[in-house]
Structure 1
Amino acid sequence: MRAGALTAAIAALLYLLLAASLSASWLGQLDTAAFAWLYDARPGWVATARALGLAGSLVGTLLVASVLGWLLRQLGRPAWPGLPLFLLGTWGVNWLLKYLTDRPRPALEALMHTHSSSFPSGHAMAAAALGLAAAGLLARRWPHHRQLWWALGLAWLLAGGLARVVLGVHHFSDIMAGYMAAVVLVAGFHFLASRYCR
């Protein structure tokens, strides 16, 4: 638990650093470099990023979490029912953080519809929350496949977040802030899951 608390504290500090640096030139340069590398209007990239955007939405993440819980029950390994509720809470916290920051979206052609402010990315935050929380639960159930679960969780996290830069709807720093905020929440989730998921 100490490692989880330390990780959460570091993530919280990094989030605060990003939030305090939104007008800093170094962060603008980082965001510009990420757009130069990732923002792309090629149909294949955009179609994939849009599909990831749907899977990483509020409805998509709740659906994935519910299907995961159902599959675990079918395999005789009941999952802690807190995962969908945790994701709902993650989206709520994201809305609050967006409201507090109110950062404008990037000044690029958005390749997917958006309807809220930019910082932190809700899709990145939800992708990290789902990927890391699910990986932890699966690793607890099947520890001999621990590396596989964490690899899949990290792949989900990266794909769900970086797709938002491909679509031009988030700055790279929005994605990193979403990841950091999710790490803090996931640390709390795993603490509760260790108590109530036997």
Structure 2
Amino acid sequence: MRNFSLRHSAIAPDTLRRLKWLAFSGLIALLALTAAIDTPFLNAIDQGMSHTLYNAHPVWIALSRVLALLASFPGSLLISLCFSLWFWSRDRAAAYGLPLAVVASWSLAGIIKYSVLRPRPELEHLAHASSPSFPSGHSMVAWALPFILALIFSQRQLAKARKYYAIAFVTALICGLARVGLGVHHFSDVLAAYSAAMIIVAGFAVLYAKSQSHDLA
């Protein structure tokens, strides 16, 4: 990785198309979840997941608290800035785009939260939570940032693309379930966050591809 560079490896058109379709699918899923809030079906799923994860082993709860710090706005912004510093001399588009994607994720989460105004779960919160519940901002950035990093690294090492995306998926999944385990989110809040995060990932990919085309021109 010493000579890390993406200048010669533009995002494939097929990859962009898939990301755009995933973003569109995410938007549909987000709208469907919003419409399903407080329905018996969704409430049953939320209650079942909360019961399982909230009453899990203390080690899981301790890990969830650590993940809450890492996926918080300050934590996720710091992580993105660390990667930005590493990318700075190699890939300016990534260096600028990562922290902007984090800010965009939290901004979009806030807009949706205060539009929907869903109350938090009626459980003792094991982590600080003051804003409305739907969607989970932590889960949104925990999906967006790892998948954007996976996209960046996979353009440099195509043979390891599946590995990078698998790591991103597992990271997002654990961070999202951790929010349910802490009693601060419904499971559907996490699903909504994942859905909305795909819009951020696709938006980054489109702008990133444009920057690569400009550099290669």
The answer to whether the superposition gives a TM-score over 0.5 is yes
Alignment match of 1:154 (pick from 161, 169, 192): 169
Partner of 2:206: 191
- The answer to whether the 8 A contact 1:162-1:175 is kept is yes
| Matches for 1:114-133 after TM superposition, within 5 Å | 114-133=129-148
Contact 1:131/1:156 (<8 A) preserved: yes
Moved more, 21-30 or 3-12: 3-12
Q: Deviations over 1:48-83 (max 9, x none)?
A: 00000000001111111111223345xx63352211
Between the two proteins, the alignment pairs up a number of residues equal to 196
- Where does the alignment leave 5 or more consecutive residues of structure 2 unmatched? 1-15
CA distance in 1 between partners of 2:128 and 2:56 (Å)? 15
Counterpart of 2:126, as a letter, is L
Give the equivalent residue in structure 1 for 2:77.
62
Pairing 1:77–2:90 present? yes
Shift of 1:40: 2.5
Greater radius of gyration (CA)? 2
TM-score (norm 2): 0.85
Name the stretch that deviates more: 136-145 or 124-133. Answer: 136-145
Q: Which amino acid aligns with 1:39?
A: Y
Query: Which amino acid counterpart does residue 119 of structure 2 have in structure 1?
Result: P
SS in 2 for 1:114: coil
Query: For each residue in 1:27-49, what CA deviation from the matched residue of structure 2 results, as whole angstroms up to 9, or x when unmatched?
Result: 00010111122113643111100
Structure 1 residue identity aligned to 2:169:
L
Q: Is the 8 A contact 2:140 2:193 kept in 1?
A: yes
* Equivalences for residues 18-97 of structure 1 within 5 A: 18-40=33-55, 42-73=57-88, 77-79=90-92, 80=94, 81-97=96-112
Residue identity in the other structure for 2:155: R
Structure 2 contact 118–133 (Cα < 8 Å) conserved = yes
For 2:121, what is the secondary structure of its paired residue? coil
Deviation at 1:127, TM superposition (A): 0.5
Mind listing any 5+ residue stretches in structure 1 that lack a counterpart? none
**1:158-177 counterparts in 2 under 5 A?**
158-177=173-192
Residues 104 and 200 of structure 2 are in contact (CA less than 8 Å); yes or no, is this contact kept in structure 1? no
What is the rounded CA distance, in whole Å, between the counterparts of 2:97 and 2:87 in structure 1?
Answer: 14
Given the alignment of the two structures, is residue 182 of structure 1 paired with residue 197 of structure 2, yes or no?
yes
Alignment match, 2:26: 11
1:4 to partner: Cα distance: 2.0
The two structures have a TM-score, normalised by structure 1, of 0.93
- Provide the alpha-carbon RMSD of the alignment: 1.5
